[in-house]
């Protein structure tokens, strides 16, 4: 069987998605385990002078940069098609189809271990900033 990769983006106008990548995992405090939708993870900041980015998660601050990807990522969405829909389109994609929904060309990469912030960072903490960065693996 064959599945055609559909793409409705016109040339040069594929919607760009973003990646924020950091080492290790962000752990959610147990009390928010079930209500993480809309929960704030941290504050992404671009300080004025250098080409650096900081990402403040709870009491931790990460420093990183915006990196162009050597090869872009396509964001594909797998879709199950019903038979009814299928008849109008091509007959050679039974059951499933893939659609390009976006492209990623850059990521904001934080590859260093987090730095602990001594003083409390703003009211972010109060506002459910429960996420703490942990288990940063040493490479």
Partner 1 sequence: MEQPHPSCRGAEAVLNLQSGSSISVAYHPLFGPHDDLILLELDEKLLPHILQQRVTLRGQPDEDAVLCTPSKTYGIKFVGNSNSVFLIPPSDHSILCDHNGKGHIQQASASVIKVAPGSMELVEVAPRLDKLRLLLSENPYRSGEVLQFEDVDGMEKCIAGLYTWDDLVDKVQASDEELRTGLIAFSAVEIDGYWRIVDEEYMGKLLMALFPSSVLNDWSLNALNENEVVRVLVQDGYPQKLAHHCLSVYGSKVGEGLNGSCLWSLDERRVCVHFAREILRGGKRKMESLMEEWRHKIPEGMQASFDMLEGEVLTEKLGVDLWVRAFSVSALPLTPAERFSILFKERSKWEWKDLQPYIRDLKVPGLSLEGLLLKYTRRIQPTLDAEPIFSAR
Provide long-range contacts, Cβ within 8 A and 24+ apart, for 86-91.
90/4
Decide: is 85 part of the binding site for partner 1 (CB under 8 A).
no
Q: Does 115 contact partner 1 by CB under 8 A? A: no
Smaller CB distance to partner 1: residue 80 or 83? 80
Binds partner 1 (CB under 8 A): choice among 29, 43, 86, 132: 43
Considering the rule CB under 8 A, would residue 117 count as an interface residue with partner 1? no
Contacting partner 1 (CB under 8 A), which of 29, 63, 86, 98? 98
17: tokens are 């998605």
Stretch near partner 1 under the rule CB under 8 A, chosen from 44-52, 81-89, 113-121: 44-52
Nearest approach, Cβ of residue 116 and partner 1 (Å):
19
Q: Token pair for residue 3?
A: 């599945």
| d(C-alpha 101, C-alpha 97), whole Å | 12
Q: Between residues 11 and 83, which has the closer beta carbon with respect to partner 1?
A: 11
Please enumerate in sequence order all residues whose Cβ is within 8 A of that of 95, keeping only pairs 6 or more positions apart, or say none: 80, 81
7 binds partner 1 (CB under 8 A): yes
- Secondary structure (H, E, C), 74-118: EEEEEEECCHHHHHHCCCCCCCEEEEEEEEEEEEEEECCCCEECC
- The C-alpha atoms of residue 133 and residue 105 are separated, in whole angstroms, by 26
Which of 67, 92, 120, 125 binds partner 1 (CB under 8 A)? It is 92
Q: Provide, rounded to whole angstroms, the least separation between the CB of residue 124 and partner 1.
A: 8
């Amino acid at each position: 069987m064959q599945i055609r990769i559909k793409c409705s983006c016109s040339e040069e106008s594929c919607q760009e998605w973003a990646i924020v990548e950091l080492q290790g995992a962000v752990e959610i405090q147990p009390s928010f385990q079930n209500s993480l939708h809309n929960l704030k993870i941290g504050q992404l900041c671009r300080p004025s002078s250098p080409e650096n980015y900081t990402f403040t998660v709870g009491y931790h601050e990460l420093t990183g940069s915006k990196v162009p990807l050597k090869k872009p990522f396509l964001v594909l969405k797998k879709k199950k098609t019903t038979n009814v829909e299928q008849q109008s389109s091509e007959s050679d994609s039974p059951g499933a189809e893939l659609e390009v929904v976006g492209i990623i060309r850059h990521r904001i990469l934080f590859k260093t271990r987090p730095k602990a912030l001594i003083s409390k960072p703003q009211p972010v903490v109060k506002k459910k900033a429960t996420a703490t960065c942990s288990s940063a693996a040493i490479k």
